[in-house]
Every structure is written in structure tokens, then in C-alpha cells.
Amino acid sequence: MKRETGILLLLIASLIIVCGSSRAGEPLKFSGGEFSTVLKKAELFHNDSIHVLNFKYADRKRGFKPYIAPTVLIAGGTALHFSDSKYQFNDWVQDNFHYEGGADDYLRFAPLAAVYSLNAIGIKGENNFGNLTAISLKSFILNDLLVYSLKKAVNEERPNGGQHSFPSGHTSVVFAFAQIMHHEYGEQSIWYSVGAYSCAATVGLMRIAKGAHWASDVLAGAGIGMLSTELVYLTHQYKWDWEHIKHFDIFPFSVGQQKGLTLVYNF
């Protein structure tokens, strides 16, 4: 019954399109052969497309699983933020692994640099260059908005006396990019994911050893970074390829003293 209903709806849609295409005042001419063609196309569309229409990308079929780790990290970091244990842990790290270098400032970008390097040498990930770049930019921007909004709202003092400690921005960025590596190459080999997350964890530990953050900041930052990337992959429309870019037009405009560029997408 559902199959016949789907075909009927598609047939009605086809008829509406044909009616709308006819000139005003002219009777609609629809031969038996044309009717059969529309019916066959409707049936083929129903059989081949409807069942995958809303689930084209694997990221939308995994349910809540991708959000478990980010949720645990954010919850753990938030709980530790209100606990005296964070002071004890930071004292232990400072006593045993004190660090004063600047490598953490550069290592936070390492997972994303590795993704583009793999693309450059011909090892292709899940998405093409256009979609990968769009996802990376959106993930970075969303993560930045979340982190710095929380920094201003919480205004936690850093171990070294600075301000805006919670959550860790360096850690959130590196985990956001590590999550991109996991999405793009994780199914090809688990070692891509292991390498990216190891780099991210190293940056988090370096931030603690440097006295720039509490352990609670690092845990929450890691979760926020992973969550930002997951949300971007979930909502991304995957239209940054040549097939879709050809539908874009950019042209200048001038209205009085106002001048600029107009971006138009033809559907």
C-alpha cells in the first residue's frame, strides 16, 4: 500500500509540474504514451531513491554514538571544575612534568595539517577539498564561538594567574581537528585516529604542565572541540564540489553610494 501511495504522490507531482509548464488558457494535452512514461519514471524514482533520500551520508545514521565521548568529557570537566581535585592534579603535573616551551601553540594545528598533507600526496579522505575546507572552517568558527563565550561567562583564573581559563582553547581546537581526521580517514585505518587523538591529548597535557590550564579546562575543551566537529558534519550539506559550485554566480552591484558583491546560487 505504501509503495502505491508513493507512486501516486509522485505522479500527482509530475502532473502539477506539467500543468504549470503549459501556457495559460491552453488545454493540457497528455497522451497515453506520455502518461506511461511518467508512471515508469515515478516508479523508478520510488524504488531507487526514496529509501535513501534522508540518509545519504553515513554521519546521519550513527545515532547518538558520536556524541557519547564529547558529552562524557564535557560533563567530567565541568564536575572537576567544581572540585578541589583539580588543584592536587595540577600540582602533581607541575612537580613532575613542568614545561615552558611553545610547541603546543603549533601542535594544535597538526591533525588538520596532516589531513591536508594526506590529500596532497594522493591519499583521499571521505570528502573532496571543497567540502573538507568548508567543514574545517565551520568547525573552527563554531568551536571558537563556544569556547570564548564560556571563557567570558565563567572567567576562571588560570593556574599561572591569568584569566579566562575554562575551557582550554588550545585543547578544543586540536580535538576539533583530530575529530576531522577521524571522520576523513578513520575508516581507512584506525591508526590515523590514534595518531590524531594522541597529538590532541599531548597538547592538553602540555597546557596543564605549562600552568596555562587546569585539568578541568582541558577535559571540557576536548569535549567541546569534538562536539563542534560532530555538529558540523551532521549539518553540512556537502555542496562544495564542482557540480554545485557551477551553480554559483558572483557579480558586483551598486545602489547609490553602496557598492559590493552579490552571491547567487541557482537551484
What is the reported pLDDT for 217? Answer: 98
Q: Which grid coordinates belong to 168? A: 582550554
H or E, element range at 16: helix 2-21
What is the reported pLDDT for 216? Answer: 97
Flag whether 234 is in a domain.
yes
Q: How many CB atoms are closer than 10 A to CB 112?
A: 21
Flag whether 265 is in a domain.
no
Domain count, the chain: 2
Question: Do 237 and 171 sit in the same domain of this protein?
Answer: yes
Give the span between the Cα atoms of 171 and 194, in whole angstroms. 16
Question: Do 41 and 66 sit in the same domain of this protein?
Answer: no
Is residue 111 within 8 Å of residue 204, measured between CB atoms?
A: no
pLDDT above 90 covers what percent of the chain? 63
Question: Do 137 and 73 sit in the same domain of this protein?
Answer: yes
Flag whether 254 is in a domain.
no
Question: Do 115 and 17 sit in the same domain of this protein?
Answer: no
What is the average pLDDT value for the chain, to the nearest integer?
A: 81
Question: Do 42 and 139 sit in the same domain of this protein?
Answer: no
Question: Do 75 and 99 sit in the same domain of this protein?
Answer: yes
Lowest mean pLDDT among 18-27, 99-108, 176-185: 18-27
CATH number of the domain within which 181 lies:
1.20.144
Flag whether 165 is in a domain.
yes
Question: Do 44 and 65 sit in the same domain of this protein?
Answer: no
Cα 90–chain centre separation: 32
What is the reported pLDDT for 116? Answer: 97
**Statement: residue 12 has pLDDT above 50:** no
Question: Do 205 and 91 sit in the same domain of this protein?
Answer: yes
Flag whether 256 is in a domain.
no
SS3 of residue 239 by DSSP: coil
- Domain of residue 47 covers 2-52
Question: Do 168 and 67 sit in the same domain of this protein?
Answer: yes
Flag whether 94 is in a domain.
yes
Report the pLDDT averaged over residues 163-168: 97
Most confident of 9-18, 166-175, 254-263: 166-175
Is residue 139 within 8 Å of residue 228, measured between CB atoms?
A: yes
**Model pLDDT for residues 62-78, shown as the tens digit of each residue:** 678 899 999 999 999 99
Question: Do 207 and 118 sit in the same domain of this protein?
Answer: yes
Flag whether 229 is in a domain.
yes
Question: Do 9 and 97 sit in the same domain of this protein?
Answer: no
Higher per-residue confidence, 14 vs 123: 123
pLDDT bracket for residue 34 (50, 70, 90): low
Give the span between the Cα atoms of 19 and 89, in whole angstroms. 73
- Please name the residue ranges forming H helices in 22-67: 32-48
Report the pLDDT averaged over residues 104-109: 97
Higher per-residue confidence, 233 vs 250: 233
Q: How many CB atoms are closer than 10 A to CB 235?
A: 11
Report the pLDDT averaged over residues 7-21: 42
Give the span between the Cα atoms of 242 and 79, in whole angstroms. 46
Question: Do 28 and 47 sit in the same domain of this protein?
Answer: yes
**Statement: residue 9 has pLDDT above 80:** no
Using the 3D structure, point to which of 16, 32, 52 is the last residue of a domain. 52
Flag whether 223 is in a domain.
yes
What is the reported pLDDT for 42? Answer: 46
Q: Which grid coordinates belong to 53? A: 533520500
**Statement: residue 23 has pLDDT above 50:** no
pLDDT bracket for residue 260 (50, 70, 90): confident
